[in-house]
Structure 1
Amino acid sequence: MPEKSPRKVLVTQRFFDPESLAYLHGHGCEVHIAELAEGQGDADLSQAQLLALLADVDAWIVGHAWITAELLAQLPRLQVIARRGVGYERVDVAAVRASGKVATIAVGGNDASVADHALAMMLALGRRLGDSKARMINGDWAIALGSDLYGKTVGIIGLGRIGRGVARRLAGFDARVLAYAPHPDWNHARESGVQHVDLDTLLAESDYVTLHAPLLADTRFLIDALALNRMKPTAVLINTARGGLVDDRALLEALLDGAIAGAGLDVFLSETDSSYRATTEALLALPNVVATPHSGASTHEGLQRTNLIAAQCAVAVLNGETPPAACVIADGRDPAAVTTSLPQEVQP
């Protein structure tokens, strides 16, 4: 009797940890990790490069590559696309379903990491950490007065898993926490000590506004020039969710004009639209901006969790099973399983 060939899994992400690799090996998978150039991500690979890597692959653990109908049509062997992350605006869900494949996300893996990152940005901006270091390097050791996070009002836009994690952390600062859900059907997400308000109230009363909503057609540019002008001139904007939630050009103007006091940015429009590159560079040059390169979820622990969840989802599909419902964004094996809207559990 011929020996059963191993299931082939391709990983196109860095920092795939030994434990997750061992999990795949232990479930009969042959794992190939793509060799990416320094600074390169799988979103930088051309379709031809992706097709060459994926030609004889059964499962794909992916980061930010675009999953298109054209790509999927040329990969008949591929059964499952497992995102090591939770956003899936780059996945053509309808095409996945039509191709009979399965697409999953790593729900719950990086919640704590991103929530920590949002708090870190609030503290860094309030205490002027980046500005103080830059002054000291230039020989200016004069004390730059900062502001406490303690006792402040923080507005959370999007109270999904990460937003709720931010709210819980803020309890330790005796903060007043306001929340706004961009979609009415998300209002069932409650957290102790959180006051649900409309967007105008949140913007007008918050000392910090932190974004934790997904990027959808109706949340794009949720924070535009009008929204920024509703904020306090002493307020700070934090975005660790998606670049398209904020009009970066309007944000730059608001910061230059003193309409708001500062911004903490882990995501930028220029990540997907190169015409915003100059805007990003101008934002990075400002002393009242704290910035990171879309690394809010990238801790050792967070990546280990998301790696393992993605691996578990891939193995489940290869075994003919169904991954946890919250992780499945498209299941083409079941024509009746249609994702029509973003469920609460899939919010960032």
Structure 2
Amino acid sequence: MSEQFPRKVLVTQRFFDAASLSYLQEHGCEVQIAQLADGQGDGDLSEEQLLELLTGVDGWIVGHAWITSSLLAKLPRLQAIARRGVGYERVDVNAVRAAGKVATIAVGGNDASVADHAIAMMLALGRRLGDSKARMVNGDWAIALGSELYGKTVGVIGMGRIGRGVVRRLAGFDAKVLAYTTRPDWEYSLEYGVRYVDLDTLLAESDYVTLHAPLLEETRFLINAAAFGRMKSSAFLINTARGGLVDDQALLEALLDGAIAGAGLDVFLSETDPTYRATTDALLALPNVVATPHSGASTHEGLQRTNLLAAQCVVAVLNGDTPPASCVIADGRGKFSTEE
């Protein structure tokens, strides 16, 4: 157990709520919340800027900063790294283990927020909400006919916590659900009327295709030009997962060519690859694209849950305990090591 009090905890994420702050303070932590410039996230900070903030810190609640071996080697006092989110492609988990530190994610905290967001995008696209408002602003009040989500076929790619949340919500729309996953749960499929199919079948039959898969080497550009060629021209694509799952240039071409009807995008390739910025700008300019700035998980309720989960993980590590197993992505501490 750490003998140093107060333990210093740095938060480099916005919207850290009072209850989570109080939790850390009640458990002997001195909390510093980084003051970032407007529009700046911790993923925009250089290693030098991070080191300036993190020197002398025991626990770090982080968003999208890169966790590298170079950074960790210069932070001997840092013990706990808690992501306020669930993706961890920017965390070098091997470096965390090698440095004897612990890295965690906030599993389950934002599932409902992202599932709601995916449904909202389906409804906005089908009912042409963005396009209608833009027309009205320009004085055109003519009715733009949309389409219902009710009774449609929705293809869900990835059946983890968020994908399942989307399926439960779709039950209220009497939707037919197709699912593509490497881990089919047959009992779940019977309960919710899910039909597991291969990817080609899902793309060909779905009116909406919604992505909820992790970004891995084998899933990068899972939705590419060939995939758009298999989809209905009346179909919509929803991506609230990771930008790298979709080839955004191929998506732009599919939308311009009328290969699909529209897209709802909360994530973009340009978030990690600036060379795609022009592609992102072109997508945003289209009337049949509904877009948000990677905010699917950002609700008051969702952030309160993930803040508290991250805070609980930090306190557990600083106390010499083990956070919930589902939250731990790397643990380099002797007997607690996840490599054992």
* TM-score tier (shorter): over 0.9
Counterpart contact for 2:5–2:28, Cα < 8 Å = no
**Structure 1 residue 82, shift from structure 2 partner:** 0.1
Classify 1:286/1:100 alpha carbon distance in 2 versus 1 (closer, same or farther; 3 Å). Answer: same
1:317 partner letter: V
Q: Secondary structure at the match of 1:122?
A: helix
Residue 243 of structure 2 corresponds to 243
1:286 maps to 286
Distance 1:237 1:112 in 2: 20
Distance 1:209 1:188 in 2: 20
Question: Which of residues 182, 185, 188 is equivalent to 1:188?
Answer: 185
Whether 1:134 and 2:134 are equivalent positions in the alignment is yes
Contact 2:104 2:310 in 1 (8 A): yes
Gaps of 5+ in 1: 341-348
What is the aligned partner in structure 2 of residue 36 from structure 1?
Answer: 36
User: For residues 334 and 172 of structure 2, what CA distance do their matches in structure 1 show?
Assistant: 45
Partner of 1:308: 308
TM-score of the two chains, using structure 2 as the length reference:
0.97
The Cα of 1:278 is off from its aligned counterpart by 0.2
5+ unaligned residues in a row in structure 2: which ranges?
none
Q: Which amino acid aligns with 1:219?
A: T
* TM-score, normalised relative to structure 1: 0.94
- Structure 2 residue matching 1:31: 3-state secondary structure: strand
SS at match of 1:43: helix
* Structure-2 change in CA distance of 1:334 and 1:152 (3 Å): farther
> 1:86–1:106: 8 Å Cα contact kept in structure 2?
yes
Q: 1:134 to 1:13 in 2, by over 3 A?
A: same
After TM superposition, give the deviation of residue 187 of structure 1 in Å: 2.2
CA-CA distance at 1:39 after TM superposition: 0.5
Cα-to-partner distance string for 1:127-164 (whole Å, 9 max, x where unaligned): 00000001111111110000000000000000000000
Match of 2:209 in 1: 209
| 1-structure distance, mates of 2:175, 2:337 | 42
Q: Cα–Cα, structure 1 residues 51 and 203, in superposed 2: closer, same or farther, change >3 Å?
A: same
Task: State the 1:188 CA deviation.
Answer: 3.4
Contact 1:329 1:339 in 2 (8 A): no
- Separation of aligned partners in 2, 1:158 and 1:129: 27
| Partner SS state of residue 286, structure 1 | coil
Deviation string 1:187-209 (CA, Å, 9 cap, x unpaired) is: 23834211111100100000000
Q: Which residue of 2 aligns with 1:218?
A: 218
Of all paired residues, the percent bearing the same amino acid is 81
Matches of 2:335 and 2:123, distance apart in 1: 48
Please list the CA deviations of residues 259-301 of structure 1 after superposition, one character each: whole Å capped at 9, or x if unmatched.
Answer: 0000000000000000000000000000000000000000000
Superposed, 1:74-223 pairs within 5 Å as 74-181=74-181, 184=182, 186-188=183-185, 190-191=188-189, 192-223=192-223
Once the two structures are superposed, residues 62-84 of structure 1 have per-residue CA deviations (whole angstroms, 9 ceiling, x without a partner) of 00000000000000000010000
SS of residue matched to 1:195: strand
RMSD: 1.3
Distance 1:13 1:332, change over 3 A: same
Is 191-200 or 320-329 further displaced after alignment? 191-200
Counterpart-to-counterpart distance in 2, 1:201 and 1:112: 27
Q: 1:339: Cα distance to partner?
A: 6.4
Contact kept, 8 Å, 2:322 with 2:336, in 1: the verdict is no
Matched residues in 1 for 2:332 and 2:339: separation? 11
* 1:252-263 → structure 2 map (5 Å cutoff): 252-263=252-263
Give distance in 2, aligned partners of 1:290 and 1:139: 21
Number of residue equivalences: 335
Counterpart for residue 345 of structure 1: none
